[in-house]
Structure 1
């Protein structure tokens, strides 16, 4: 009889990476062919995508050894293999995929840093992300003594409770998801931007809100299962949503970077108006099929693509900057 939870894990592992892979490919096409520059955050999201695929493979294999099944229905002969996968491939690929995804988003934000305080906030969040993801990826090294007791349950030794560990890790994941969702407002609030740009930003943040909602739901699953010994079944539900969360997060990380791609192939979507408050780095008369939002090299050597508006550049143009009365750069 088919197990719906195990089938759900397999579906999540095979379907959710597809849009993420497509968007990562489009991001690199944009960076290489349109912008002619590949940033550090692009390489980080590529690493996250590779690890996410590894996470999907690990979970598909783990379903063969009882993931998603109720524990009484799992043969004792498969428990060791199940726990061995849960000790190494699963946490390493899942937590490192999360680490590289969030690092990519943070380094992307750093490109548009407007103040030292904002940059400090980014590095603080990055420090938290690196810390809890490394702890999560290496749980098997410190959860049990001897280490092998983590996957050989009959071995003599001691283990600390798994639920408090994973509760703390997922809680930190929720915390950093919330911070990542709020950080863009630090940049956006002082700016006056067009309605279509606000709608695009709302769409990106809405997708990020879904990731946060999944993180909260996973935290609830762990909290409900504190005293539930049926861990193979609970893990199935948790990992199914974890796979979805990981790949949707990669999609969210790529969306702002595709503005130049859309502007290149559908330039009518982004019309740059010659307004007095526009930055001096914006090229108003764009050549045919030139990526919208990119200042020509003759105008500024520091031009960059922004997720929030055409031609917005945190350093400004070398030939002058238009500033709002509050001292912030205006769009």
Structure 2
């Protein structure tokens, strides 16, 4: 420290990654918390159902909060500053909070993956998808347990992980190697979770546009994969500078926070569909089409779930057409007659619509709540009719 020129020493003292790290950790934790709050609002109040996958994401959020608290305390004790300005007691305290932050990180990322996979299990109930989901679930659970256990027993005795005075006589694993292995396996499981639903979604009987949207929602985990790679790079850079670990550890800390909280957000987005539909309803739901001079055109009707014809809004894909609850529906066998309740205006043509319904079901006979949440409730059966 005496060999460093005073000017350079002043520059190093002014450099502090702590505030940046604290701001990033705080911001992403708040964003994740909001997404979980909205998820439970949607599930509990709008859909009236809360599943086990929701409780796993809640557990993940709790671990994320613990990790954020530990990271903020690390900054308080000198993390983000250059090591030459951090004394032995401060370094030991930083390592102690790091120890618990790592355990919270491993737990949070594991709970999130379990939550996503349990959601997959509800959405894709076919036997072809069930076993891959269970296999990936087993891999992620095993990795999570291994990550937590290896984090707990980094050193024997355990407190040698943060008590620098005990480390010379303690038995400790090579920390950098452990971090790299855990980060690499984490990226691998991220990839498995992200790619798992693609084939199944492509096989669904849905319009192409809806398939693309559904794949995009379910594979948001690719963003987490990218962040995981950036986190691994930060760990590699940290390992190359052991003499200034308090400075270089900041980037690894905030990338860890971004990864954990972004994973929570990505896992919660699919569950918010009902809330989005409530806040941003479909435009022009009223049936106000002019039939004068229109050509006959096939319409596609999306029936309500379980093939029940109700007076709820039913979307018609026709030229300038909208069908609302004002339309009376009459079922006779497999034929449904739709009679507009509007009185005909002078010079207009009065017509009725005969709807013939065909339903095709595979697997279980009822949809899960999660599938109804992800896919429009009007996408179960497709009905074709001709104007008469």
TM-score normalised by the chain length of structure 2: 0.70
- In the alignment, which of 143, 167, 170 is matched to residue 183 of structure 2? 170
1:194 aligns with 2:260: no
Query: C-alpha separation between the residues in 2 aligned to 1:194 and 1:106?
Result: 24
CA shift in 2, pair 1:4/1:70, >3 Å: closer
Aligned-pair CA distance for 1:224 = 3.6
Check 1:270–1:128 CA distance in 2 against 1; reply closer, same or farther (3 A cut).
farther
Greater relative contact order, per chain length (Cα 8 Å cut-off, separation 6+):
1
Match of 1:222 in 2: 235
- Larger % of strand: which? 2
In 2: Cα distance, 1:283 partner to 1:71 partner: 69
Going from structure 1 to structure 2, the CA distance change for 1:279 and 1:33 (only over 3 Å counts) comes to closer
What does residue range 30-179 of structure 1 map to in structure 2 within 5 Å?
30-87=42-99, 89-155=100-166, 156-179=169-192
> Counterparts of 1:166 and 1:309 in 2: how far apart (Å)?
39
Aligned residues of 1:48 and 1:98 also touching (Cα < 8 A):
yes
Alignment partners' CA distance in 2, 1:250 and 1:139: 23
Is 1:25 aligned to 2:47, yes or no?
A: no
SS in 2 for 1:281: helix
- Cα shift at 1:34: 1.7
1:227 offset after TM fit, Å?
3.9
Tell me if the contact between 1:69 and 1:232 (Cα under 8 Å) persists in the aligned partners. Answer: yes
The SS at the match of 1:256 is helix
Measured against aligned partners, the alpha-carbon deviations of 1:188-210 in whole angstroms (never above 9, x if no partner) come to: 11124335534533553574222
Deviation at 1:9? Answer: 1.4
Aligned-partner Cα distance in 1 for 2:233–2:188: 14
SS at match of 2:129: helix
The structure with the larger Rg is 2
**Offset from partner CA, 1:53-86 (integer Å, 9 cap, x none):** 1111110001122222222221112111111112
Matched residue of 1:287: which SS? coil
2:355 maps to: none
Query: Among 270, 279, 286, which residue is 1:265 paired with?
Result: 279
Uncovered stretches (5+) of structure 2, i.e. residues with no partner: 1-12, 286-297, 314-364, 383-388
Distance 1:304 1:95 in 2: 29
**Match of residue 352 from structure 2:** none
Q: Aligned partners of 1:160 and 1:104: how far apart in 2?
A: 31
Q: Distance in 2 between matches of 1:301 and 1:126?
A: 24
- The one of 251, 256, 259 equivalent to 1:245 is 259
**Aligned partner of residue 306 in structure 2, secondary structure:** coil
Q: How far apart, CA to CA, are the structure 1 residues paired with 2:252 and 2:153?
A: 22
2 CA distance for matches of 1:219 and 1:34?
A: 40
Distance 1:2 1:178 in 2: 40
2:350 equivalent to 1:311? no
Distance 1:282 1:233 in 2: 62
For 1:297, the equivalent position in structure 2 comes to: none
Q: Which one has a larger percent helix, Structure 1 or Structure 2?
A: 1
Bigger Cα displacement from structure 2, 61-70 vs 187-196: 187-196
Partners of 2:224 and 2:262 within 8 A in 1 = yes
TM-score, normalised relative to structure 1: 0.81
Check 1:225–1:126 CA distance in 2 against 1; reply closer, same or farther (3 A cut): same
Sort the Cα spacing of 1:206 and 1:124 in 2 relative to 1 into closer, same or farther, 3 A.
Answer: closer
**Structure 1 residues 186-195 or 246-255, which shifts more?**
186-195
User: In structure 2, what is the Cα distance between the partners aligned to 1:59 and 1:121?
Assistant: 36
1:193 partner SS? coil
Q: Point out the more displaced range, 175-184 or 64-73.
A: 64-73
TM superposition shift of 1:213: 0.5
Pick from 267, 281, 287: which aligns with 2:312? 287
- Cα deviations across residues 273-298 of structure 1 (Å, max 9, x unaligned)? 9737878636675637xxxxxxxxxx
**C-alpha spacing 1:195/1:117, structure 2 compared with 1 (3 Å):** closer
